[in-house]
Structure 1
Amino acid sequence: MSTLPRGFGRFLPPGLELNNELSQQIAVFDAMTIEREELDRDITLLRKQQADTEDRLAEDLAEDEFQSILSGQQVMEQSYTDLKNICNQQIGCIVDKLAAKYERIVYLDSDLSKLKQSIEKGVAEANARLTAAASI
């Protein structure tokens, strides 16, 4: 008998043999679950990178403004435009990566849900065959 993903074991009575198709579905489900967990970790890291980048950019802006005031210079609109471009470039790259990860999660969650239903149906059918065989 194949190792079942969490939550499926409760459906199986001892001695139930799974067919190859169901075993393969379970293996795919396991792989997809691992990918989902990796995506969650990647998103956490990207969110931290985004926060660190935002903090660093805010500190840089504050330092530039402070130095301008100390030297008696007026903060120019051009420096704000430059900063906006830097923010869009650095943070935009992170946001694009996050969007790709979230998009993958949406499709992966949908596939996981369908696959889980299919596995549960296969396990229920296997249980029914086992019960029918035991009653003969």
Structure 2
Amino acid sequence: MKRSIIKIVFYSLCFHSIVGCNSDSNSKDSQLNIKAIDKRESYIRAINGSDEEIDSSIIERGKVMISYSDCYTCHKEDKKLIGPAFSDIDLRYPRKEVFIKILAQRIIHGGRGAWGNAEMSAHPKLKTEDAEAMVAYILSFSSIASK
């Protein structure tokens, strides 16, 4: 009888230890996931607003302009390199004319601080309408991916 009680207590302690460890692990995992999500959200800092329609020929021209530019030296489509991923830029800014104009000027004149310490080199020879087409393409990533 005494041996049975000891076995029950032993198995009970083992069970509670395993369950306790798993719940702590799950709790830590979920805390890490929440921290990663919070960190990503603070990196993106999405601006509220709805997208405006952009002529598809402008978006296509922007895609071609980017393919012939030096953009991919510092940016990738879906991951951070030196500068932010194009998909992250798309997540931050609504596709609106005002943001297209602002970001086009940032491409032409360069900048720093919008995405951390990385410096955006200036592209003074780039025409404004070409820079705007490039931005229109970048801000269309989510709509292109959903097709």
TM superposition score normalised by structure 1: 0.34
Give the number of the structure with larger relative contact order, counting CA–CA contacts within 8 Å between residues 6 or more apart. Answer: 1
Bigger Rg, which one: 1
Q: Which has the higher strand share?
A: 2
Q: Which has the higher helix share?
A: 1
